[in-house]
Structure 1
Amino acid sequence: MNDKVLRTLEFNKVKELLAGFAASALGRARVDALQPSLTLEEVIELQEETDEAANILRIKGHAPLGGIFDIRPAVKRATIGGMLSPQEFVQTASTIRASRKFRLFMEELEEEEIELPILTGKVSEMAVLTPLEHKIKAVVDENGAILDSASDALRQIRSQIRANEGRIREKLERMIRSSNAQKMLSDAIITIRNDRYVIPVKQEYRGNYGGIIHDQSSSGQTLFIEPEVIVSLNNALRELKLKEGQEIERILTELTVEVSASSEDLLLIVSILADIDFMFTKAKYGKSIKGTKPEMNGDQVLKLNRARHPMLSIEEAVANDIELGKDFSSIVITGPNTGGKTVTLKTIGLLTLMAQSGLQIPALDGSEMGVFQNVYADIGDEQSIEQSLSTFSSHMVNIVDILGKVDHESLVLFDELGAGTDPQEGAALAISILDEVHQRGAKVVATTHYPELKAYGYNREGVINASVEFDVETLSPTYKLLIGVPGRSNAFEISKRLGLSDRVIQRAKSHIGTDSKEIENMIASLEKSRKDAEAEYDEAHDLLKQAEKMHKDMQKQMMEFYDKRDSLYEKAETKAAQVVEKAKEEAEGVIRDLRKMRLEKSAEVKEHELIEARKRIEGAAPELNRSKPKKANAGQKRELKPGDEVKVLSLDQKGHLVEKVSSKEWQVQMGIMKMKVKESDLQFIQAEKKVETKPLATVKGKDFHVGLELDLRGERFENALSRVEKYIDDALLAGYPRVSIIHGKGTGALRQGVQEYLKNHRSVKRVRLGEAGEGGTGVSVVEFK
């Protein structure tokens, strides 16, 4: 992509915001290098990566990515024989620890059975270098200091150093506390010069201490002298410190060899952690703008649902629905200045660049974005003082350059096309340029204030007009894009509201031709019709969604009811069978006893009487196997017709036939629920009654539809109880056996209040908290009597 276009569409500003979410310098480096991809497969993969990280943030709220450093220069130096510094070892161990913590984090997610194929694959490639991390930690602490435990020799040397320093300080302390010290010393302190312990002696008493002078004050009045009595001790201390340095160098060299041996694994870990940090950087930015993952296509088709400009705050930005590339490939936005046309233009271009870079876009779910090989933009004031070019000339330089490169895989954005010159010639040029780009198959969005272009969309196939809505009442634009409606002038209405006299306005209108008046009236009518249609669509869409939810809920509840009923039947049968079996066993015992008595005591009990008694006992056992659902009456010759009353044998429910959906299936209306049922499972009851039918629901409005759930989250306590009272009444009228009330977890006050009310309700049989799959303690499940 052209760097100028990226700047024009403010893609660089998006990258600046994006970099703020990176957890490491590695992630920020990836952001700096970010460019829109030009292949569909790569863009889809980038979007999948961002979406996977976004899912983790949605579920867990975070990802452990602290402590990652760019250790590649240190690792490469270790491989060529250089010795690493203690701080480089600290960063190496920290990076290894970061990879280990993220691996453990992923293992927890896998236990929760969350599908994360991309991250799982990346983590599996990272080597486990915990032993190297432990070796580094045994040598260097978090501040980069070498630990005494790094080796036995180092521990011994440092022990000797501390003992020697103690002896030196002890002797010097005696000197500075002597009776003559106050007179001969500038200050009673022990200090260090050239790594040797010294005391500050006045110039005139230099001979009293002997030894070596290492420094003097700026005035020359104080000399820093190493007294003769500690010279040998300081020499011994210096030797010990040299040994300490040699031992540390030996330890760090050995540790550097360990790092060099794992160099390939370390470089791979750094690369993968950079990928992971970048994935979460994109996901965090997407969350900040309430972005969603767009569906990508290779057909250069755009379908944006409630799209916003990402650089505007969510509260200020006006969301718009924008489509391009399917029914039409060119949009011409007309209307007055300051209406939001340029913002719309930049929104389309910037969201295209973001999507092709793997970023989520500020639009609702279901949005689609195409992959373009090039995005061209001629936007803003292009006047060039340096080149002595006018605004028009600068625009034309850009347009000439665009026309030399544009093809069918390009997105072209023109702002105020043809502006800056004679209106008649500018409009003619704009039409000709649009025709040229359109004929090459590019997708085009252009803004203009020329009235001649209002008819452009009506005369060209694949081209549509659009405008940005203007509120005459408030004298301000609403920034809402109206596709299919050209912009109209509001000069007369605005002038009238600002106080211009009707006489002047009417005189101005007389100078406008009849055709222009008719076009303006037509546009006004189109705007009103569109607003009405959108309002009715929104209402119908809400009702449809609510009806679909009710239908699914009722189907689910009916299936649960029949499953529970069958389960109870089976339990009853099993229990009855057990009782009968026990009775039979007891009866058999009685008969055995009788037979035994007859043999032993020659009692008058006939064998046939025993057989009859057994038959009577067996006959007393109930028939346990319930009859299977009956097939439709084989002898029934009447052909089923829509409207017939039938019985669904498998459900033991009556209903009416709506229509035949296939040769063997019917759609059956049972109450408010419709189901597909096989004809073999239907039994005819009676023909359709010739009675005028009325719609099931003749009243519009949400209050007449009751869902199986009531969501109280965010409600005040008093309002919540009032809603619960009304909802329970509506649910009872609807005949629901069970409903759910969502009150959330929070402090528990709302949950306690709702449950107290429900427990005292005369129609409530039982109230319980939801199970794990029902929402847990955030939901109360209510069963009615």
Structure 2
Amino acid sequence: MNQRILHVLEYKKIIDQLSEHAASSLGKEKAAALKPSSKLEEVKEWQLETDEAAQVLRLKGHVPLGGIFDIKPSLKRTTIGGILSALESLDVASTIYGGRQLKRFIEEAEEPEMPKLREIVTGILPLKELEQSIRSCIDEHGNVMDGASDKLRTIRSRVRTYESRVRDKMDSFTKSKTKMLSDAIVTIRNERYVLPVKQEYRGAIGGIVHDQSSSGATLFIEPQSVVDLNNQLQEARVQEKHEIEKILKELSEEIADHYSALYENVTRLGHVDFMFARAKLGKQMKASMPSMNDEGRIKMLQARHPLINEEEVVPNDIEIGEDYTSIVITGPNTGGKTVTLKLVGLCTLMAQSGLQIPALDGCEMAVFEEVYADIGDEQSIEQSLSTFSSHMTNIVDILKHVDDKTLVLFDELGAGTDPQEGAALAMSILDEVVNRNARVIATTHYPELKAYGYNREGVINASVEFDIQTLKPTYRLLIGVPGRSNAFEISRKLGLHESVITSAQEKIGVDSQSVENMIASLEESKRGAEQDYEEAERLLQEAQDLRNELKNKWDQFEQKREELYEKAEEKAEKAIRQAREEAETIVGEIRNMKSQAGMKEHEWIEARKMFDEAQPELAKKKKESKPEPQKEVKELKSGDEVKLLTLNQNGTIVEQTGKNEYQVQVGVMKVKAKRKDLEFIKAEQPYKEKPMATVKGKGYHVKTELDLRGERYEDALNRLEKYIDDALLAGYPTVSIIHGKGTGALRTAVQNYAKNHRNITNHRAGGMNEGGSGVTVLELS
């Protein structure tokens, strides 16, 4: 970008504001050197950096950038053998500490995401040892401390001793020679202690005269008796100075050894400070990050001129580069046309510099290779150029460079000459720039240009609104509506006689009157469209609110229904538990009477198992299950194994009792069920003769041992109970129950069961070859 454009659009004022937000001279230096870039990728990178810093400020409120100095000149001096002063060395230590604090802040922050900042601070080295070396020699005020070296401590001890002796000696003079002194004090001249002696007593005191007052009435004399002491003091001070220089030289050499790391730290710290300066400026302007393109598209929502007070500026929507590439703005003076030009130009320069722009989120800016502007009265008395000549000289230069990668801003195009010729010239200039596909925004007073946008593709009219009632501009930009003359309305408002206005209207051409009427109609239509749009927005918002309200109520209803279901299920579960407890009591009583009823043990076991499993499937479980795909309905035959869905039990088809109705053997029960309640499992298998246990001549197949290891306590007892029934049916004299050693809980349960069973005559632990204490052998009768 050329310097003239930066001056015309007041870019330096933005840079000055940016510099104020930098925390260090490093950031201020980078801010002062900032220039817009014409490289899209570079601009995008800058914008991402600024946005990342802005997020940190928004979430954290601050960033530790204190104590950082531009130590580059000091570092350079150390590399050529220069000795840094104590304060310069202290600045190095402070910068090391500041960099370490910033690095810790960035690395320990969990949010927001800071990929660029983390990448930058990764290269900052802590250099704790160097900082410690400096701070162990220099205090926070920049003075070399006594402890910097043993020799310095000794020398300073001597200095204090000599000073004390000199003062004691001098104090004796101030007490005994008061009449001879102008003032009873001890002062210093030429770094030596002296007394202010009256001129007439010069000989009485004796010694070396170092100075006299302006009147000559007072002589500053070093008494002969303290000359030697002062000499010793001065010698000690010279030694102190040499020792301090030696200490600072050693520190400077150590700093020089870390030149590369320190220089890299300073460079990175300056970059971070510059990033946050841009973010702070954006926060001050209430700005947002624009998305960048190189296709000439600009879209700003409620954009404000960054150099106008926020309370005074009127936000406007500005769009160019998509449906149209040129805007011609007409309207009255002081209506805001020039401000609009400068707003677009300055925001473009800011965006291309990585700065956020004062507009709402969602704005889009273009990266141009050049921005040209002809704004303001540039008449030059020295060059003897008129206003028109000055503008034309500038425009001629602009036309030499315009292409599709440029933004051109014309203020009062064609002004300063004959209106008819100026209007024709303005249209020709616009045609030339538009044909080169540049982005153009121009302001004008010429009525001929008001209809320009209707006859040119890619060009649109615009105007700044004027309030006839208040006779003041509103500064609102109306895209698509050309400005119209308000002379008659203003005159009428100010009290000009109607006959005079009517006469004037008759004198203007029919075409001009038609254009004015068309513009008035367009303005009215635009206002009506804006009102309709606002009403539609309001209705849409109301509908959205109503939808959200209904959705919330529906969600509350669903939640309430689920709560009622859960309460009902809890109540049902409670009733089931109560019924089960009662049934258990009844079953227990009936079992005690089973011998009189003539029922077998295994039949009771089957009945109890059916009772345990015949529990209703609650909605909670149904809710979790997914609907299974429809299965093909299979014709069932006697002997087929099926699942009775209503009881969740397996059974065997006995016979078909009716259409879609079957009799099913489930344990000891026979149940009639509909076909839809039966799920086919497998067909009846052909009978194969199996080897049967022949003990006591009975044919019943069952193993002589039962393995209960890993079973739950209740499940183990149920299996044991059924197994004993099966073993009794098989006629086994003894069986082995494998329960393992474990905690002994299963072993105890098996033995207790054996004691209480009338068909178990004895039980014992297994022998060495039978599994030992992990097995219990039962003898059956």
Q: Per-residue CA shift, 1:215-242, capped at 9, x if unaligned?
A: 2333333332222322222222222212
Q: Which residue does 1:116 correspond to in 2?
A: 114
Counterpart amino acid of residue 31 in structure 1 = A
Q: Which residue does 1:20 correspond to in 2?
A: 20
Q: Which residue does 2:75 correspond to in 1?
A: 75
Contact 1:587 1:617 in 2 (8 A): no
Q: Which residue does 1:254 correspond to in 2?
A: 250
Q: 1:142 to 1:554 in 2, by over 3 A?
A: farther
Aligned counterparts of 1:262 and 1:560: Cα–Cα separation in 2 = 67
> Which runs of structure 2 are paired with 1:420-499 in the superposition (5 Å)?
420-499=416-495
Q: Per-residue CA shift, 1:308-363, capped at 9, x if unaligned?
A: 11111111111111111101111111223222111111111111111111111111
Contact 2:326 2:458 in 1 (8 A): yes
Q: 1:570 to 1:260 in 2, by over 3 A?
A: farther
Residue 155 of structure 2 corresponds to residue 157 of structure 1: yes
Aligned counterparts of 2:557 and 2:422: Cα–Cα separation in 1 = 72
Residue 1 of structure 2 corresponds to residue 7 of structure 1: no
Match of 1:465, SS state, is: strand
Q: Per-residue CA shift, 1:509-548, capped at 9, x if unaligned?
A: 1112222222211111111111111122123234434544
Counterpart amino acid of residue 421 in structure 2 = E
Among 250, 261, 264, which residue is 1:268 paired with?
A: 264
Q: 1:164 to 1:574 in 2, by over 3 A?
A: farther
Q: 1:516 to 1:220 in 2, by over 3 A?
A: closer
Counterpart amino acid of residue 280 in structure 1 = F
Match of 2:457, SS state, is: coil
Counterpart amino acid of residue 188 in structure 1 = A
Deviation at 1:211, TM superposition (A): 3.5
Q: Per-residue CA shift, 1:349-396, capped at 9, x if unaligned?
A: 111111111111111111111000001101111211111111111111
Q: Which residue does 1:170 correspond to in 2?
A: 168
Q: Which residue does 1:306 correspond to in 2?
A: 302
Aligned counterparts of 2:285 and 2:611: Cα–Cα separation in 1 = 78
Among 367, 370, 375, which residue is 1:374 paired with?
A: 370
Aligned counterparts of 2:631 and 2:332: Cα–Cα separation in 1 = 75
> Which runs of structure 2 are paired with 1:610-621 in the superposition (5 Å)?
610-611=604-605, 614-615=608-609, 617-618=611-612, 621=615
Q: Per-residue CA shift, 1:69-117, capped at 9, x if unaligned?
A: 111100110111110001111221222222122223223422xx32011
Q: Which residue does 1:135 correspond to in 2?
A: 133
Counterpart amino acid of residue 375 in structure 2 = I
> Which runs of structure 2 are paired with 1:169-248 in the superposition (5 Å)?
169-178=167-176, 181-248=177-244
Aligned counterparts of 1:132 and 1:578: Cα–Cα separation in 2 = 76
Q: Which residue does 2:35 correspond to in 1?
A: 35
Contact 1:598 1:605 in 2 (8 A): no
Match of 1:177, SS state, is: helix
Aligned counterparts of 1:320 and 1:115: Cα–Cα separation in 2 = 33
Q: 1:190 to 1:539 in 2, by over 3 A?
A: same
Residue 516 of structure 2 corresponds to residue 520 of structure 1: yes
- Give me the identity figure in percent: 59
Q: Per-residue CA shift, 1:29-56, capped at 9, x if unaligned?
A: 1121111110110111111111111112
Aligned counterparts of 1:571 and 1:123: Cα–Cα separation in 2 = 58
Q: 1:611 to 1:631 in 2, by over 3 A?
A: closer
Aligned counterparts of 1:269 and 1:557: Cα–Cα separation in 2 = 59
Contact 2:282 2:357 in 1 (8 A): yes
Q: Per-residue CA shift, 1:537-571, capped at 9, x if unaligned?
A: 12323443454466567658866876897699789
Q: Per-residue CA shift, 1:730-785, capped at 9, x if unaligned?
A: xxxxxxxxxxxxxxxxxxxxxxxxxxxxxxxxxxxxxxxxxxxxxxxxxxxxxxxx
Larger Rg: 2
Aligned counterparts of 1:141 and 1:449: Cα–Cα separation in 2 = 69
Unaligned runs of 5+ in 2: 633-781
Counterpart amino acid of residue 98 in structure 1 = G
Q: Per-residue CA shift, 1:235-278, capped at 9, x if unaligned?
A: 22222212211211111111111211111111112111211111
Match of 1:482, SS state, is: strand
Deviation at 1:192, TM superposition (A): 1.7
Counterpart amino acid of residue 2 in structure 1 = N
Q: Which residue does 2:540 correspond to in 1?
A: 544
Counterpart amino acid of residue 607 in structure 1 = E
Tell which deviates more after alignment, 73-82 or 605-614: 605-614
Unaligned runs of 5+ in 1: 636-785
Match of 1:304, SS state, is: strand
Q: 1:497 to 1:132 in 2, by over 3 A?
A: same
Deviation at 1:456, TM superposition (A): 1.1
Aligned counterparts of 2:582 and 2:144: Cα–Cα separation in 1 = 88
The number of equivalent residue pairs is: 629
Aligned counterparts of 2:386 and 2:70: Cα–Cα separation in 1 = 49
Counterpart amino acid of residue 20 in structure 1 = E
Among 608, 613, 623, which residue is 2:617 paired with?
A: 623
Q: 1:165 to 1:546 in 2, by over 3 A?
A: farther
Aligned counterparts of 2:490 and 2:541: Cα–Cα separation in 1 = 41
Q: Per-residue CA shift, 1:194-231, capped at 9, x if unaligned?
A: 22222223334334444433223333333322223222
Match of 1:299, SS state, is: coil
> TM-score scaled to structure 2, two decimals?
0.75
Deviation at 1:120, TM superposition (A): 1.2
Aligned counterparts of 1:585 and 1:246: Cα–Cα separation in 2 = 102
Deviation at 1:293, TM superposition (A): 0.8
Contact 2:107 2:118 in 1 (8 A): no
> TM-score scaled to structure 1, two decimals?
0.75
Deviation at 1:447, TM superposition (A): 0.8
Match of 1:230, SS state, is: helix
Contact 2:289 2:356 in 1 (8 A): yes
Deviation at 1:425, TM superposition (A): 0.7
Deviation at 1:401, TM superposition (A): 0.4
Q: Which residue does 1:103 correspond to in 2?
A: 103
Deviation at 1:424, TM superposition (A): 0.9
Deviation at 1:598, TM superposition (A): 9.0
Q: 1:578 to 1:253 in 2, by over 3 A?
A: farther
Q: 1:577 to 1:331 in 2, by over 3 A?
A: same
Q: 1:585 to 1:304 in 2, by over 3 A?
A: same
Aligned counterparts of 2:571 and 2:516: Cα–Cα separation in 1 = 82
Match of 2:77, SS state, is: helix
Match of 1:424, SS state, is: helix
Among 349, 359, 363, which residue is 2:359 paired with?
A: 363
Deviation at 1:186, TM superposition (A): 2.4
